[in-house]
Amino acid sequence: MFRQFSRFLSRASTMRWRRPFSTNLPAEAAADSNFVEAWRKAIPNVEPPITPSSFMATRPATPSSIPSKLTVNFALPYSSELSGKEVDMVIIPATTGQMGVLPGHVATIAELKPGVLSVHEGNDISKYFVSGGFAFVHANSFADIIAVEAVPLDRIDPNLVQKGLTDFTQKLSTASTDVEKAEAQIGVDVHSALNAALTG
């Protein structure tokens, strides 16, 4: 059996991927018949595994013209803040700086840093403080934002932010181990971003 498996691995390493790495993929999901066939040859007594693409909904086709709205999904580990919401613009606190996302934005993946995420819909602006996460902007004017924690900006108490900033600054100055320094630095960074969000 190990000989057959090693042959399968050597064949798999020489196979070329037929699916391009691009956002212009067709909207219909194509079954990977080559994988299933190779699996059945190598391990005929075991059913082929179900791949992650089997569980994903098919991606909407990339529109030929730029839509007027950006569709946003904003999720937290415990809830969904926005699901399929059509907005005019989203401003994301990326690690590379503030990133404005409009309909027709180029496909991008951005890591979020602690800061303000603002969702613009007409004259209404909803602001959330996010502690970190990722934003996935797709070429079909969809944006998926996944944050570790997020709180509407109007629900944050400025007095508690100041107290936390003072406490973590003191912990940073008295930290003796690398772990204590790292934890205190994270606390200072998050509370400094909270303070900047509330005062700016």
Q: What is the CATH number of the domain that holds 138?
A: 2.60.15.10
Q: What is the pLDDT along the chain (200 residues), one digit of tens a residue?
A: 445 544 544 444 444 444 444 444 444 445 577 888 888 899 888 888 776 666 666 666 666 788 889 999 999 998 888 888 999 999 999 999 999 999 989 899 999 998 999 999 989 999 999 989 999 999 888 999 999 999 998 898 999 999 999 999 999 999 889 999 999 998 998 888 888 888 87
Whose CA is closest to 99, among 70, 60, 67? 70
Output the CA–CA distances (angstroms, integers) from residue 68 to 48, 60, 91, 117, 125, in the order listed: 43, 16, 17, 21, 17
Whose CA is closest to 104, among 73, 71, 72, 139? 139
Q: Which of 155, 174, 190 is the last residue of a domain?
A: 155
* 133 and 169 belong to one structural domain: no
Q: In this predicted structure, what is the pLDDT of residue 65?
A: 80
Residue 175, in any domain of the structure: yes
Residue 73, in any domain of the structure: yes
Output the CA–CA distances (angstroms, integers) from residue 148 to 6, 18, 54, 130, in the order listed: 41, 35, 26, 7
Residue 23, in any domain of the structure: no
Q: What angle do CA 78, 199, 75 make, to 5 degrees?
A: 15
Q: In this predicted structure, what is the pLDDT of residue 198?
A: 84
Rounded to an integer, what distance in angstroms lies between the CA atom of residue 83 and that of residue 52?
Answer: 22
The domain total for the chain is: 2
* 73 and 138 belong to one structural domain: yes
* 150 and 172 belong to one structural domain: no
* 132's tokens: 């970190």
DSSP 117: E
CB 121 within 8 A of CB 166: no
* 151 and 164 belong to one structural domain: no
Q: Please tell me whether the overall predicted TM-score, pTM, comes out greater than 0.95 for this model.
A: no
Q: In this predicted structure, what is the pLDDT of residue 39?
A: 85
CB 192 within 8 A of CB 168: no
* 136 and 81 belong to one structural domain: yes
CB 54 within 8 A of CB 28: no
CB 180 within 8 A of CB 162: no
Residue 174, in any domain of the structure: yes
Residue 170, in any domain of the structure: yes
| Structural domain range at position 192 | 158-199
* 181 and 104 belong to one structural domain: no
